[in-house]
Amino acid sequence: MRPVLALLAAVAAAVATPLPGVLPPVAGAAATASSPGIVYQMKDAERRDPACRASDSRCAYITFRYPVVVQAPSRAAADAINGAVSEFLLWRLQADPYKTIDAALNGFMQWWQEAKAQGPPGAVPVYWEERAVKVLYQSPRVVSLEFDEGSFTGGAHPNFYSAYRNFDALTGAKIHLADILVDGYQAPLTRIAEQKFRKDKGVAAGASLGHAGYTFDNDRFRLAGNFAIGPEGLTFLYNLYEIASYAQGITVFLIGYGEINTLIRPDGPVGSFRR
């Protein structure tokens, strides 16, 4: 399994455990329209090669930037969001997750030290890793997060990966497309998404996606499973290598609520956007 796909599985399996070594979440009052009831504190943590000059871009380093929920409408909501963040930051490939933020940072630098010791005398490998979690959108009913990871540990180029996760702001439950769209949404949503995708990418209707450089199975458009809820619509994301080469990068496109108006559940988490 590629590292980015393993990372997707890890985030998808996030458990509700608070981040070690940070302020635990505090349940607050019920959410209101004027105040979604979720309060975050942004945290930064890093380790760098102590021999590094501040202006040297070729130093070994690892950085984390992430939100910690310190107030929420329920303890369950705070724990679910903080748990997903924790799982993402503490995950590592082909090994058990780290127990703490410090252990994750120190572990990466130890890995770099081992690589340096095994290399030619005087050679210093350039290793770096950046993990960041952003709050993309929040409302009284929804919290959408973006998990970004970039790393370089040798090879032809760095690797980058992003994942979206959507949570019920009151309960912390994960929000899936079936929670916000009506039954039978799959076929019409895929049709709308393909039209949007082809327009954004300049691929004519009926033209081969494969000939345009996209690697969908059987040359048939497939909707990304990676989506974020936002104030204007649903954003879908395909990661590197998922449907195209590394050179074509990450693919992101937005489907506005007006384009899927009839598919929105009136009583769902984004029901207020239906017109």
Q: Which residues contact 11 (CB under 8 A, 6 or more apart)?
A: 84, 87, 88, 91, 147, 163, 165
Distance, in Å, from the CA atom of 144 to the CA atom of 165, rounded to the nearest integer, reads 6
Secondary structure letter of residue 124 according to DSSP: -
Provide the pLDDT for residue 119: 81
The reported pTM is 0.85
The structure tokens 């458009």 sit at 221
The angle, 0 to 180 degrees and rounded to 10, between the axes of the packed helices 75-90 and 3-12 is 160
Distance, in Å, from the CA atom of 216 to the CA atom of 198, rounded to the nearest integer, reads 13
Per-residue confidence in pLDDT tens, the chain, 275 aa: 334 334 434 433 333 344 443 434 444 433 333 345 899 999 999 999 988 776 666 789 999 999 999 999 999 999 999 999 999 999 988 889 999 999 999 999 999 999 888 888 767 788 899 999 999 999 999 999 999 999 998 878 899 999 999 999 999 999 999 999 999 999 999 999 999 999 999 999 999 999 999 999 999 999 999 999 999 999 999 999 999 999 899 999 999 999 999 999 999 999 999 98
Give the pairing type, strands 128-138 and 61-72. Answer: parallel
List domains and CATH numbers for the chain: 3-175 (3.30.565.40), 178-273 (3.90.640.20)
First to last CA, the chain: 43
Q: What backbone phi and psi angles, to 5 degrees, belong to 21? A: 80, 10
The structure tokens 């504190």 sit at 41
Provide the pLDDT for residue 7: 43
- Is the distance from CB of 147 to CB of 162 less than 8 angstroms? yes
